[in-house]
Homo-oligomer: A and B are copies of this chain.
Amino acid sequence: MPLVTLLDYAGVAVFAATGALAASRKQLDIIGFLFLASVTGIGGGTFRDLILGVPVFWVANSFYVVVCAAVAVLVFFGAHRVESRYRLLLWLDAVGLAAFAVIGAAKGLALTGSPTVSIVMGMLTAAFGGILRDLLAGEPSVLLRPEIYVTAALAGAAVYTFGVLAGLPVPACYVAGFLSALIVRGGALRYGWSFARYKSRPGRRPEDIP
């Protein structure tokens, strides 16, 4: 199996698992698990393919949907064994983020040749699945958490893109991009890495503004 296909299935499966974990946190039924797992697992790639104007990947190959369903069933019967489902969700989300950042960048670069588009597609593809899951499950958005998130996707997409443009072997670029994103996001989760936040003052609530 080519490396890119492996990364693609890995990204779909781990994002599906985060969707199913969110369903277990909300105590949904088995169909709720299947639904949230599918939407989260295939959401990012669907978005990527729509933007790039290529056929949506799971419409062309419905095995991706089967993977999501299998993951949902596994989580439904196994999630109670996990001590902290939210921490597991965040770590799996990190793996999915890294996989989708590189694949999004790879598809963007192959189709347009533009490094800007490539990096933006990496960021958007990687962030979209988690955003969708958090919106649908009513979780606080992973995007607004204090520690580094989108930056990790940006790093992975940029490493891949500049590696390929520099003429390095493509499989090495996949691995380097994936590991870069995973290390940055993993460090953020483990050690709380964050950038200086915009501190001046928080926004007031609209009704308090004269």
Chain A positions near chain B (C-beta within 8 angstroms): 22-35, 38-39, 46, 50-53, 55-56, 58-59, 62, 65-66, 76, 79-80, 84-87, 108, 112, 114, 116-117, 120, 123-124, 127, 131, 135-141, 143-145, 148, 150-151, 154, 194-204, 206, 209
Contacts and interface: CB of A to CB of B under 8 A. Distances in A.
* Best-surrounded residue of A52, A59, A151 (most CB of chain B within 10 A): A59
Closest 5 CB pairs of A and B: A25-B203, A29-B195, A62-B116, A80-B200, A31-B151
Copies in the complex: 3
* Best-surrounded residue of A30, A120, A194, A196 (most CB of chain B within 10 A): A120
B199 A27 contact: yes
Contacts of A203: 22, 24-26, 85-86
Contacts of A131: 136
A33 B151 CA distance: 11
14 contacts: A26-B202, A28-B144, A29-B194, A34-B150, A35-B127, A35-B150, A39-B124, A53-B56, A65-B116, A80-B201, A84-B209, A86-B209, A87-B209, A139-B206
A58 B38 CA distance: 27
Contacts of A154: 31
Contacts of A34: 150
Contacts of A108: 59
B116 A24 contact: no
B209 A65 contact: no
Contact of A65 (B28, B38, B87, B117): B117
A95 to B, nearest CB: 19
A94 to B, nearest CB: 15
A197 B58 CA distance: 28
